[in-house]
């Protein structure tokens, strides 16, 4: 202790943090960061929430070997929720050119963030990760902005001071599936029980008129889950669908010919000239002009895309380099596709990710940490990758989407079971 104080105070800073420091592991992570960087800390004050609903409060002195060392540690722990006791104002610099951030730009997390701007805390709008923060000083507002949208002169947050991050609290004592699972991935977990709980969550969310967004891949159709998924849409459980070109093509092939990549979904046999069915489906879409036109012309009369069109469920189909077609409905420009995905995701409460790593990761990158995401994939690596980007609000289910979706529908139809 003595050595701690005797040493120069030049490289110390006093910080404070409050919240569920213990059970949400906030303090653990702050200690970790300091120790990882081989710094020192001294806890000068600690008030523990004596009961489980009380927040805790800690005040620490962080000490480094040099100004740079100290700054390095502070920058890390600020991201974990610590703030200096003496509040500093956020630093701003104008963007030097269109689509260029100042060198020292602050890169955002997906947790709720505030900046200390002109003597008050301002909450960041549209919080997503890996963006910069653009400030409207006059309006006292600030928002996360993607690099391509930055315009020369935009006031951009730089450095790491004057910023307060609220790390996610672990969900507690609720009834939903996120409490139900102690760990985040379902291997060696009872799948049917899990599906029942997810169904209950979906029902609860819809009761409160919360938005549920589905992200899906063509495996839904391959594995025989298309009819059940279409019914989920018809029943109103899906508020928007984010997918790629392939899901729509497979769905239309299935609706027109009963096949998926030429194989009959009903009996598993290769269909006559089945190999050309998905190209024929694409051709029919081009011929009609769009999926919507196909529905209007009564060429497309069932399936996932049909239900979306009929029930006014918005969808965005992002093209990719591996697409056949892509069909007229697919957004071929990725910058535009991202913009539309983001728009759909506004106010999402629950996101269901069904067997598509590409689109699920895209969506994960666009969500604040507070949105509940449930990822279903038969590949455990895919599930792990999705959760790594997520938060405590993410749940992974390693299962077969071809049995998962029909069973989910079952429980939604008969919730009493």
Question: In the window 47-76, what residues touch its own copies (CB under 8 A)?
Answer: 48-52, 58, 72, 75-76
Of 25 and 155, which CB lies nearer to its own copies in the complex structure?
25
Per the document, the length of the chain is: 417
Using rule CB under 8 A, residue 34 touches its own copies? yes
Using rule CB under 8 A, residue 278 touches its own copies? yes
3-state secondary structure of 108: coil
Closest separation between CB of residue 88 and its own copies, Å? 17
Per-residue x/- track, 233-252, its own copies (CB under 8 A): -----------x--------
From candidates 184, 373, 393, 399, binder to its own copies by CB under 8 A? 399
Using rule CB under 8 A, residue 232 touches its own copies? no
Using rule CB under 8 A, residue 164 touches its own copies? no
- Chain centroid to Cα 150, Å, comes to 23
**If you ran DSSP here, which 8-state letter would residue 100 be given?**
B
Q: Residue written as tokens 């592991």?
A: 25
Of 276 and 346, which CB lies nearer to its own copies in the complex structure?
276
Radius of gyration of the chain (CA): 25
End-to-end alpha carbon distance in the chain: 62
Q: Which stretch binds its own copies (CB under 8 A): 6-14, 83-91, 94-102, 202-210?
A: 94-102
Per-residue x/- track, 372-391, its own copies (CB under 8 A): ------xxxx--x-------
Using rule CB under 8 A, residue 38 touches its own copies? yes
Using rule CB under 8 A, residue 174 touches its own copies? no
From candidates 134, 194, 241, 350, binder to its own copies by CB under 8 A? 194
Distance CA 382, CA 401 (A): 13
From candidates 8, 139, 173, 416, binder to its own copies by CB under 8 A? 173
Of 70 and 122, which CB lies nearer to its own copies in the complex structure?
70
- Chain centroid to Cα 416, Å, comes to 31
Distance CA 144, CA 147 (A): 10
C-alpha separations of 169 from 368, 393, 411 in Å: 13, 10, 30
Closest separation between CB of residue 99 and its own copies, Å? 5
Using rule CB under 8 A, residue 398 touches its own copies? yes
Closest separation between CB of residue 57 and its own copies, Å? 12
Using rule CB under 8 A, residue 203 touches its own copies? no
Per-residue x/- track, 255-274, its own copies (CB under 8 A): -----xx-x-xxxxxx-xx-
Using rule CB under 8 A, residue 362 touches its own copies? yes
3-state secondary structure of 320: coil
Closest separation between CB of residue 248 and its own copies, Å? 14
Using rule CB under 8 A, residue 299 touches its own copies? no
Q: Which stretch binds its own copies (CB under 8 A): 7-15, 82-90, 136-144, 172-180?
A: 172-180
- List the interface residues with its own copies, window 332-361 (CB under 8 A): 332-335, 337-338, 341, 358-359, 361
Nearest to 247 by CA among 287, 218, 227: 218
- 263, two tokens: 């194989």
C-alpha separations of 216 from 179, 258, 333, 356, 381 in Å: 25, 19, 19, 6, 17
Using rule CB under 8 A, residue 417 touches its own copies? no
**If you ran DSSP here, which 8-state letter would residue 67 be given?**
H
Closest separation between CB of residue 375 and its own copies, Å? 14
Using rule CB under 8 A, residue 148 touches its own copies? yes
Distance CA 232, CA 234 (A): 6
**If you ran DSSP here, which 8-state letter would residue 312 be given?**
T
Of 233 and 337, which CB lies nearer to its own copies in the complex structure?
337
Distance CA 368, CA 125 (A): 10
Nearest to 211 by CA among 364, 362, 373: 373
**Range 42-51 contact pairs with CB under 8 angstroms and sequence separation of 24 or more:** 42/1, 42/4, 44/14, 48/21, 48/22, 49/20, 49/22
Of 310 and 365, which CB lies nearer to its own copies in the complex structure?
365
């Amino acid at each position: 202790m003595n050595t701690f104080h005797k040493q120069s105070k030049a490289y110390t800073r006093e910080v404070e943090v409050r919240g569920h420091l213990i059970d949400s592991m906030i303090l653990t992570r702050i200690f970790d960061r300091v120790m990882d960087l081989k710094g020192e800390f001294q806890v000068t004050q600690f008030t523990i929430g004596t009961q489980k609903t009380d927040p805790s409060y800690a005040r620490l002195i962080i000490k480094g070997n040099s100004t740079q060392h100290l700054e390095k540690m502070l920058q890390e722990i600020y991201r974990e929720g610590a703030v200096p006791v003496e509040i500093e104002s956020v630093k701003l610099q104008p963007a030097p050119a269109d689509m260029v951030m100042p060198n020292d730009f602050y890169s955002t997390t997906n947790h709720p963030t505030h900046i200390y701007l002109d003597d008050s805390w301002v909450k960041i709008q549209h919080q997503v990760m890996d963006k910069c923060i653009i400030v409207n000083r006059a309006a006292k507002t600030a928002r996360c902005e993607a690099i391509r949208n930055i315009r020369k002169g935009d006031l951009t947050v730089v450095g790491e001071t004057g910023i307060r991050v609220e790390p996610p609290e672990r969900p507690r004592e609720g009834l939903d599936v996120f409490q139900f699972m102690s760990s985040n991935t379902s291997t060696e977990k009872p799948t049917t029980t899990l599906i029942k709980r997810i169904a209950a969550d979906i029902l609860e969310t819809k009761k409160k008129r919360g938005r549920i967004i589905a992200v899906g891949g063509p495996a839904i159709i391959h594995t025989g889950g298309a009819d059940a998924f279409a019914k989920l849409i018809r029943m109103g459980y899906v508020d928007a669908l984010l997918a790629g070109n392939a899901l729509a093509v497979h769905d239309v092939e299935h609706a027109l010919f009963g096949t998926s990549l030429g194989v009959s979904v009903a009996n598993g046999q290769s269909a006559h000239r089945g190999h050309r069915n998905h190209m024929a489906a694409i051709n029919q879409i081009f011929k009609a002009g769009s999926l919507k036109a196909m529905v209007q012309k009564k060429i497309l009369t069932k399936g996932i895309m049909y239900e979306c069109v009929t029930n006014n469920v918005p969808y965005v189909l992002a093209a990719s380099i591996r697409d056949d077609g892509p069909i007229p409905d697919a957004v071929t420009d990725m910058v535009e596709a991202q913009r539309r995905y983001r728009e759909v995701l506004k106010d999402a409460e629950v996101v269901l990710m069904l067997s598509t790593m590409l689109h699920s990761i895209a969506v994960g990158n666009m969500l604040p940490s507070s949105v509940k995401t449930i990822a279903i994939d038969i590949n455990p690596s895919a599930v792990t990758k999705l959760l790594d980007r997520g938060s405590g609000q993410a749940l992974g289910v390693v299962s077969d989407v071809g049995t998962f979706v029909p069973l989910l529908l079952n429980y939604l139809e008969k919730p009493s079971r």
